[in-house]
Chains A and B, each alone.
Chain A
Amino acid sequence: MSKVRPSPWPSPPAGEGTGAAGSLSPFEGESDWPAGRMRAQFNTRFNGLTMRAAKNTKRNLVTAALVAPAAAWLCVFLVLPFIAMLVFAFCERAPEGGYQAAFTFAQFANLPTRAAAFWNTLMLAPAGALLCLLVAYPVAYYLAVRANPRYRLILVSLVVVPFWTSLLVRTYAWMYILGSRGIPNLLAMIGIEDVRMLNTPGAVLLGIVYGYLPLMIMPIYVSLEKLDRRLLEASADLGAKPVSSFFGVTLPLSLPGVMTDVALVTILLLGEYLIPQLLGGGKVFFIGNALVDLFLQSRNWPFGSAIAVTLVAVVVVVLMVAMRIAWKVAGTRQVDLV
């Protein structure tokens, strides 16, 4: 099963004549439609052999101007802080907290003391993402394939609307649902006493599945919606039962979306702080919580930085492994995970 990366640029609207600008373009059939222009620019950037040098420079400048704001943003708010963090990681804690200059590997040597937090995170993040997938796939499948197209918009909105409320508020609601006056109270009515749900790994997992569900549903929905129905008809014509059609056609075709989704949610979960904090009661501890603790309670910036750097390294490794798996499954290297 192979999946070829589609062109990232939308095609220009059909039937639109080539205008004045279009006639300057070396690309036959290009209009002055913005996407067409952008495509021209990018094509220039990578295989601009057909362009005259002057034009080339001008276009390069335009490209640079377009890329500059995002690049500057990433540099100031991602690259520089990361470098600062890397430097801090080799410093030591100042007597009253914070950091002071030093060159030591002591922070990295101290990492095993946070093994439990790393273990928790590395177990619960993928587990949360997979659980999320199990819940999300049937929903996405229903929305994209089964649902009456007339109501599809409403149904999709129902998935998205909870996103409009802050995750903090929604997670607080779970604190009450899982607290003694919520589900345990209902269980007590039917004779199951003293059930404790809040501040357990299960509560955190539930919060994760709930919080990240829309993020999981939407990309799968999109990849299923693009599915060519004729393939399913062909499969049925050739005698396949619906179940084997699903496993032979639908599922493999939606796999790239699924893999992207699982990777995305897993990476976000590796940095999760809020849900374990509220539903874990300080007992189910993620790396994010350890970081907050080190910066905001024990004021050990160097150790916090060392953990943060390690977390980034872990994310990169997880991503690489996921990418390899994705390549294998898809049979091509043209699969984007993020």
Chain B
Amino acid sequence: MTKWYRENAPITAEKLADELMRLKRGSVTRRHFLGVTGLGLATAVLARAPGLFNATAFAEDLGTQMSLATWPNYHDPATFEAFKAATGVAVEVNVFGSNEEMLAKLQAGGTGWDLFVPTNYTISTYAKLGLIDELDLSKLPNYDASTENARFTNEGVIDGKTYAVPKNWGTTGIAVNSAKIKKPVTSWKEFFEVAMAEADGRAMVHDYQLTTIGNALVSLGYSFNSVKPDELAKAEELLIKVKPHLYAINSDYQPSMRATDAWMTMCWTNDGAQLNRDMPEIQFVLGKDGGEIWSDFYAIPKSAANKAAGYALLNYLMTPENAVKEHIANGAPTTDSRVLKLLPADVTSNKIVYPDEAALTPLEFGAAVTLTDPGRAELMARFKSA
């Protein structure tokens, strides 16, 4: 060992042996050991060397995989490939058709999700039940609350604490294949009428209590969020009457609409934009009698196994340059003015994605009570098993 090396080495041999014993005894953490010996840095440097270990070093160990719970057709697969290339973390995507299903899985425990996509009305319940943690915004340097549209993001913040950050907003409207259905559909009332007539056997409703029951309520002139037993009873009557005429009860309606198995469906903005982009005869309309306006968020479950990777992916998605690609691919409107500036004009002028304010006026945000209301939950289950 040269004199130069002894003087410049990050740690002496004796000290290294000493620290190693401390680590083995459990007196210090692995992180302390890697830091004080310089081994962490060395690993990081080696990892950066191309062709040696193909992973970028991060301050924290991100692992090699993480799990995301989200909705059907809601992301650009290229995003996850790019994230993997940048961090070495593979993202496993789990798709759900309702917030209730996500809640059920989180309540049962052991989901393994490191990041998930809840809708505005669920966040207060998740926080109350202790299923999500307040976000550590210092780990999300690319998120900027000041550029977000508060109309869509306020439900992520409870008592000044940020539990969730917005993904995008949207609406729940009606997708109609105009090549198959000639009668114009402009309201939920007409949706259910056409479903039992011209679109007999060709209409779909979500496998999701909020929108299926909510839109049935709207068609009868009640609030989208009603939990009043007499109004729910009327909605149930309508749904059970319409059920034999439906094509399917499924929240993943894009495959059926694309194959023209189904001609009309309850439809979220982003799916409406995707369908209309590829098949212009599929039109997306908002109910003039009402319906839902929503915003989806990203949150990290308390039970997440790989929170570091969850934060890393979230920060990646909050970067405007990455978010803009996601928005172009999935077609949902953004809540972030930084992203809005980057979006091409043909997206921002698309009336499906950014409808006129007047069309949004009759719409309602989902209310927290609908998530846990036993009456609505049981109604949906009865409707499906009827």
Contacts and interface: CB of A to CB of B under 8 A. Distances in A.
B93 interface: no
Interface stretch (B23-31, B158-166, B319-327, B374-382): B374-382
A116 interface: yes
Contacts of A97: 103-104, 107, 372, 377
Given A95-B374, A96-B125, A298 B248 contact: no
A39 interface: no
Nearest to A93: B374
A297 B125 contact: no
Interface class of chain B by DSSP: helix
A296 B103 CA distance: 8
Contact of B100 (A95, A285, A299): A299
A177 to B, nearest CB: 12
A96 B122 CA distance: 12
B319 to A, nearest CB: 34
A231 to B, nearest CB: 50
B248 A282 contact: yes
A113 B385 CA distance: 8
Contact of B381 (A180, A281, A283, A290): A290
B374 A283 contact: no
Given A113-B385, A179-B261, A285-B384, A299 B249 contact: no
A180 B261 contact: yes
Contacts of B247: 196, 199, 281
A300 interface: yes
A118 to B, nearest CB: 9
A293 B381 contact: yes
Contacts, number: 89
Interface class of chain A by DSSP: loop
A283 B248 contact: yes
B223 interface: no
A96 B101 contact: no
A58 interface: no
Choose among B129, B243, B261 the residue with the greatest number of A CB atoms under 10 Å from its CB.
B261
A180 B104 contact: no
B372 A95 contact: yes
A211 B374 CA distance: 36
Given A285-B385, A296-B105, A196 B250 contact: no
B98 interface: yes
Interface in A108-123: 113-114, 116-117
B386 interface: yes
B384 A282 contact: yes
Given A97-B372, A98-B107, A116-B385, A298 B377 contact: yes
A198 interface: yes
B377 A199 contact: no
A293 B382 CA distance: 10
A295 interface: yes
Nearest to A117: B385
B260 interface: yes
A170 interface: no
Given A97-B377, A113-B385, A295 B250 contact: no
Interface string A279-311: 001110100011001111111100000000000
A285 B244 CA distance: 12
Given A196-B202, A199-B248, A283-B246, 5 more contacts: A198-B261, A294-B381, A297-B207, A297-B381, A298-B381
Interface of A: 93, 95-98, 113-114, 116-117, 179-181, 196, 198-199, 281-283, 285, 289-290, 293-300
29 contacts: A96-B107, A96-B372, A97-B103, A98-B107, A113-B382, A113-B385, A179-B259, A180-B260, A180-B261, A196-B202, A198-B261, A281-B247, A282-B207, A282-B248, A282-B250, A282-B384, A283-B243, A285-B384, A293-B380, A295-B108, A297-B104, A297-B381, A298-B100, A298-B377, A298-B378, A299-B103, A299-B104, A300-B377, A300-B381
Interface of B: 98, 100-101, 103-105, 107-108, 125, 129, 201-202, 207, 209, 243, 246-250, 256, 259-261, 372, 374, 377-378, 380-382, 384-386
